[in-house]
Structure 1
Amino acid sequence: MTRQQAVQRVLLAAAAALLLIWTVFPFVWIILTSLKNPGDIISVPPKFMFTPTFDNYAALVLGEQRGQYASSRPDFPLFFLNSLIISIGAVLLSMIAGVPAAYALARFRFPLKEGLAFLFMGFRFVPFLAFVIPLYLLYQKVGLYNTHLGLILAYQLITLPFTVWMLRSFFLEIPQEVQEAATIDGCSWLGVLTRVILPLSLPGIAVTVILGFMFCWNAFNYPLMLAGRQTFPVTVGAIQFISYEQILWGQMAAATIVAALPQLALSLMVQKYIVRGLTMGAVR
């Protein structure tokens, strides 16, 4: 190894270490904040050595904090349950509607097919304000404001275009000959889809479901405008720890950590499918 190569490796390692610190440090700081008591959180300079406490996590479940800082708290378990209901419902609805749409755009021939496909993707480019104000007025009239169903339908603006485009690309990677062989054996288009295309596209479906779930779980703008206290998800529920009296940094940090756990657990459980799905079709 030459001196120049050694210097390049050292610089590359240093750059990678700096990038890792830049990426991981905010998450580490949130974890540390969630384990501090109020006095340690606001200390100047910041404390890196302190006696950890789980009172902030207990406050999320019990609805109140222990000791001298006891007071009422937002109903975080309800917010967490709302996020589960809304995110799972939105992803399930987008898959039910998106799978046939993606298959049609991938395999069928009809006029303006490419234009229709781009129209689906175009919904991802439009600012949310273009949708949220009409939705707010409509939901107030039809009774969908502050309901799980209303948020599930609104989230289709996030998940459905993404689902259609992702699955369309995965379906296109399956050789046409496979579909033709199934058709010769007597399968209808629905049989080809359910018996051939979907099983072969499981990695792509898995990564689409996971990413769609994450988009829904992390959504903030739509629930902020279209939900009430009974249907707030965790993203909006976390800011309920900010009041005119005080900012409960410890509880907010603990809520952030707890809210990140489902996404982390889901990603680890299906990690191999994510890798296969994201690289599907990269090498022929």
Structure 2
Amino acid sequence: MTALPRTRRPVKAGSVARAAGILLVVGAFLAPLLWMAAASLKSNLEIIDPDRMFAFTPTFDNYRNVFETQAFGPFIVNSFLVGAGATLVALVIGVPAAYGIARYRIRNATAFVLLARVIPGVSLLIPWYFLFSQIQLVGTYTVLVLTHVFVTMPLVVAIMTGFFEGIPEELEEAARVDGTSRVGAFARVVLPLSVPGVATATILSFIFSWNNFLFALVLSDQDTRTLPVAIANFTSYASVDWGGLMAASVVITIPVMVIALVAQRYVVSGLTAGATKG
């Protein structure tokens, strides 16, 4: 018995176009990161030489400069402390606020909170500096955490409001019938169900705080300086240490990329959970 010849399925033009589009978008995002990583392993002369874009001898002198000469270790600790503190405060205040907005259906409350993201941060720096200098907080972790909450809390409220609106109120009502108070229903029923949303808000808030430059530039000192501010040490009026700048950029980028890759499923589920109700 002769076997029938296997026929190949024709490749659809739409699949090819979709794959090409995905590769194009991914390449556009990865190209600057790959160039930055490669430049961090070059000398300054090799970075500005077009003939040495691919042919160069890797060196780790730039990273030694970052951690030994510029002493980036304390700056990394400062960024983690400020980012964690600002995220924690935003969650403690923003999650209950989002629950109240969602359950009591306060119209336009989320849009009003998000107005804080529309206001240019530079317009607040002068009154903030004057206020915090009067109570001797300029240069402390406290002032950095408080000002970064201005960035993180609107994000927490916006994400969690949509998430809470997607959780059926019948679940809380069933818990209250069993004798649980509204606070108890929130803590025992709603909050466990909203873990993906809380994870999403936590990750994005930390990343926004980690990348904030303007507030730390004005309100920090040498002991509390964060990474985005410390990276300015590689630039001067007369020259720029491109190799050290690229190495410092890699150091700043890696923690955020690791967090995003590890927690991407929480971010996707948290952002889409509030898209539908019921």
Determine the structure 1 residue equivalent to 2:157.
Answer: 164
Deviations 1:150-190 (A, max 9, x none): 01000111111111121111111100100101111111222
Alpha-carbon distance in structure 2 between the residues aligned to 1:153 and 1:192: 30
Alpha-carbon distance in structure 2 between the residues aligned to 1:75 and 1:163: 33
Determine the structure 1 residue equivalent to 2:235.
Answer: 242
Q: Give the 3-state SS of the residue equivalent to 1:279 in structure 2.
A: helix
Alpha-carbon distance in structure 2 between the residues aligned to 1:279 and 1:119: 22
Alpha-carbon distance in structure 2 between the residues aligned to 1:243 and 1:75: 18
1:107 to 82, 103, 116: 103
Show structure 1 runs of 5+ residues with no match.
Answer: 64-73
Alpha-carbon distance in structure 2 between the residues aligned to 1:281 and 1:148: 34
Q: Give the 3-state SS of the residue equivalent to 1:124 in structure 2.
A: helix
1:12-23 to structure 2, matched below 5 A, reads 12-23=18-29
Alpha-carbon distance in structure 1 between the residues aligned to 2:266 and 2:109: 29
Percent of aligned pairs sharing the same letter = 37
2:144 to 129, 138, 151: 151
The one-letter amino acid paired with 1:60 is V
Alpha-carbon distance in structure 2 between the residues aligned to 1:246 and 1:196: 58
Determine the structure 1 residue equivalent to 2:117.
Answer: 124
Please say if residues 139 and 221 of structure 2, whose CA atoms lie closer than 8 Å, have aligned partners that are also in contact. yes
Alpha-carbon distance in structure 2 between the residues aligned to 1:29 and 1:135: 38
Show structure 2 runs of 5+ residues with no match.
Answer: 1-8
- TM-superposed CA distance for 1:11, in Å, is 4.9
- TM-superposed CA distance for 1:98, in Å, is 0.9
Deviations 1:74-123 (A, max 9, x none): 331121111101000000010011111111111136xxx32443321211
> Quick check: 1:49 aligned with 2:55?
yes
Q: TM-score, normalised by structure 1?
A: 0.87
Q: TM-score, normalised by structure 2?
A: 0.89
Is the alpha carbon distance of 1:9 and 1:107 closer, same or farther for their aligned partners in structure 2, counting shifts above 3 Å? closer
2:45 to 11, 19, 39: 39
- TM-superposed CA distance for 1:245, in Å, is 5.1
> Quick check: 1:91 aligned with 2:87?
yes
Determine the structure 1 residue equivalent to 2:66.
Answer: 60
State the aligned residue count. Answer: 269
Alpha-carbon distance in structure 2 between the residues aligned to 1:125 and 1:253: 30
Determine the structure 1 residue equivalent to 2:4.
Answer: none
Deviations 1:243-274 (A, max 9, x none): 24532111111111111122122222223222
The one-letter amino acid paired with 1:32 is A
The one-letter amino acid paired with 2:80 is L
1:80 to 70, 76, 81: 76
Please say if residues 117 and 154 of structure 2, whose CA atoms lie closer than 8 Å, have aligned partners that are also in contact. yes
Superposed CA RMSD in Å reads: 2.1
Alpha-carbon distance in structure 2 between the residues aligned to 1:127 and 1:281: 28
2:187 to 188, 194, 199: 194
Is the alpha carbon distance of 1:118 and 1:39 closer, same or farther for their aligned partners in structure 2, counting shifts above 3 Å? closer
Is the alpha carbon distance of 1:125 and 1:53 closer, same or farther for their aligned partners in structure 2, counting shifts above 3 Å? same
